[in-house]
Amino acid sequence: MSTFLTFSAPNTSTSMAPTFLLVGMPGLSAVPSWWTIPLITVYLLSALGNGAILWIIALEPRLHRPMYFFLFLLSVSDVGLATALMPTLLGLALADAHDISASACLLQMFFVHVFSIMESSVLLAMAVDRALAICRPLHYPALLTNDVVGKIGMAIAFRCLGLHLPLPFLLAHMSYCHPQVLTHSYCLHPDVARLACPGAWGAVYSLFVVLSAMGLDPLLIFFSYGLIGRVLQGLGSSEDRWKAGQTCAAHLSAVLLFYVPMILLALIDRLRVPVPHPAHTLLSYVHFLLPPLINPILYSVKMKEIRERILKRLKPRKVGCAQR
């Protein structure tokens, strides 16, 4: 095993070692090839489903509207997140490769968090979009013009890159006082930052990034849905409430799917709840791998226009015979 696993004293500090140690799914290290098939299946289905969403939105001019633009960005973030996770997951599954170089770890960490923050930002933008469409239907076309939507997209990009670009450089130059053993099968900046010596600025900035995005976004999303719920209660007929609610069902499901496992993981870590490590690892996999798999299904089933456009494109065209 690599030398970074041992230190002469608990308070000994060192610069970043050339490798980190990843933790696989407990109980599966003896049969690593067994869980290769589910991993590859999940990834291929995620890529296929999100690829179909990207394809139909890009090809259909009638879908070039704010709600579908945000859905397009959500699919981009889902594909990017699943792709960023796969190298270490497949390395563990195929070769039981626990060692990862510091540079590869920081690179994976950067892309995992960029796409994760992108997904959170897009979910927030979609919540605001639905709140404006339901609470201010007459002003909605004037408020969310193509120019405004484009600026929102640029703001999401700058937020993702601006928050996370400093982190790899900060973490690479930090001193570490703990054995560089990670608690996940992939590199996450809170996981790397907790190994640093007390008072390291990288750890403080890492906490700021988590709170400014993953802490703030769900609060604003649920506030938006509080406004939507208040408007729905004031609608006259139950049919109107049902139609309005259906437009939010897929998005609310995606929000819960993304944030509930993350919040549970945060509570388990913060409160030091004695959860078995396999359950903790499985919950982490659910948080990162399930949304890219389920989101395309949710939006294809719940959004009639997406479903109809995909079916129309896939339906073979009949070629009529010429009449004599």
Tell me the mean pLDDT in the region 28-53: 82
Confidence band of 244 (pLDDT split at 50, 70, 90)? low
pLDDT of 11 > 60? The answer is no
Question: What does the H/E/C string look like for 40-59?
Answer: HHHHHHHHHHHHHHHHHHHH
> Does the pLDDT value for residue 213 go beyond 50?
yes
pLDDT of residue 198: 66
pLDDT of residue 148: 93
So what's the pLDDT on residue 200? 60
Tokens coding 147: 């120019």
0.75 exceeded by pTM:
yes
Mind listing the pLDDT tens digit for each residue in 255-265? 989 998 888 88
